Structure 1
């Protein structure tokens, strides 16, 4: 007859519960698995499966499960998972910001629809570029690399850290500037071309006031914008590949930065 002691049962629960908290927080905060269209049962099931795989190799601290220290460890795991998920959110927000910039210059800022994932109205171009980036991320096996980083994070940030390095959270906050920097870099060729057209139409309006610039300018901006979008699509794969590589490298650096200084 197999006998299980209370200490063994508590060890098994801790080896599953604490990694499960980190993984669940990451899946809930990430844009791929945390989307509202993904059933909650699938999120919890995937988190439980990964936690059971990781549990045998996770080193456990000598802390009782039902204690204030145990609650602190649970909060630590949730914060780590959310921080990793925010990195992925910032990465995909780059292409959404690009769609906002381009749509504003093309005159398509009014072409919006309700996005159930974010609960807000999104520009059509933002949604279009977001789906391309998401499919490209899956094609490059980015989701598998992220799960690998999540699994190896238990070596960089083991259970029972007792605190974080504040510089890691500052590093995460500064990474939010990537949305505007990379988003404008991707949209700059198209935005620059449309800006030249708008300046030309402004000069034309001053030189020939009898012409209705609005009737000429909107179709011109739309046609040139669509033509430039076709050119942009030929090189967007290289840009997204570099963006994903930088974000995954930053995620590893963030885990190292969050480790408390000895």
Structure 2
């Protein structure tokens, strides 16, 4: 077995493993705290070992340019994984919009995956999104995207830093995330806006009724009812969001590859 391994290409293997480690540091599902760090490193090592025998390996030598290539590999993995996470974060942004109208914004929960505070409805929808991705083998497609990144961005090729198209692409993707979040929040936020209008009319016509006492539980009941009704609509949006995440990753890698 040792005779089949070319130890002269160990620097190339380190480049492959650096990109995969950077991917797993920011990609959804793989980057969460629930996955132990030892498992991430071990999985990255064996995945890099498989890719070492499948992707084209150039002749790489340890010199001053090699450390720049290491930095480039880490930057590619972090940038593409972070962009995928930003697109998927539209779920939590939509949950924040909904919680603000429901009155749940006063209480957040700790997201065990990231350790950050998350809105209640946003965390609920985000868990459904992760379950949907796992149910349709979306994590396999993510790994597939990591594999095909070597077709767009070669190991010995630097990124086109002078080209501003990838910066504009990231800004456009960030803008798209807010549009998706707004579309997801519109059904519930719109219904709650109508409830606010109805409560305002009731407060003017029936001054004896304390709308501040009645309004909060009424808005919570209406929001949960609409959430149950619109769950099919949300599943369709989650499907489109996952497809958007994959196409966004591929588009950024194509821009990086020139």
Shorter-chain TM band:
over 0.9
Q: Normalising by structure 1, what TM-score?
A: 0.91
Aligned to 2:177: 179
Aligned to 1:38: 35
Which aligned pairs between 1:1-262 and structure 2 lie closer than 5 A?
8-11=6-9, 13-65=10-62, 67-164=63-160, 165-260=163-258
Q: Is the 8 A contact 1:100 1:125 kept in 2?
A: yes
Q: 1:247 Cα shift?
A: 1.6
Q: Is the 8 A contact 1:15 1:58 kept in 2?
A: no
**Alignment partners' CA distance in 2, 1:224 and 1:115:** 26
What CA RMSD, in Å, does the superposition of the two structures yield over aligned residues?
1.9
Structure 1 residues 92 and 163, CA gap change in structure 2 (3 angstroms): closer
**Alignment partners' CA distance in 2, 1:75 and 1:4:** 29
Deviations 1:122-165 (A, max 9, x none): 22111111100001011111111111111111111101112324
Q: 1:15 Cα shift?
A: 3.1
Q: Is the 8 A contact 2:154 2:257 kept in 1?
A: no
Q: Normalising by structure 2, what TM-score?
A: 0.92
Q: Is the 8 A contact 1:15 1:60 kept in 2?
A: yes
Structure 1 residues 60 and 180, CA gap change in structure 2 (3 angstroms): same
**Alignment partners' CA distance in 2, 1:153 and 1:139:** 24
Deviations 1:157-208 (A, max 9, x none): 1011123243223312321122311011011011001001101212222333
Unaligned runs of 5+ in 1: none
How many aligned residue pairs are there?
255
Q: Is the 8 A contact 1:166 1:258 kept in 2?
A: no
Q: Is the 8 A contact 1:113 1:124 kept in 2?
A: yes
Q: 1:116 Cα shift?
A: 4.0
**Alignment partners' CA distance in 2, 1:121 and 1:87:** 20
Q: Is the 8 A contact 2:203 2:211 kept in 1?
A: yes
Q: Is the 8 A contact 1:99 1:123 kept in 2?
A: yes
**Alignment partners' CA distance in 2, 1:223 and 1:63:** 63
Unaligned runs of 5+ in 2: none
**Alignment partners' CA distance in 1, 2:90 and 2:218:** 27
Q: Is the 8 A contact 1:110 1:123 kept in 2?
A: no
SS of residue paired to 2:104 = coil
Greater displacement, 159-168 / 225-234: 159-168
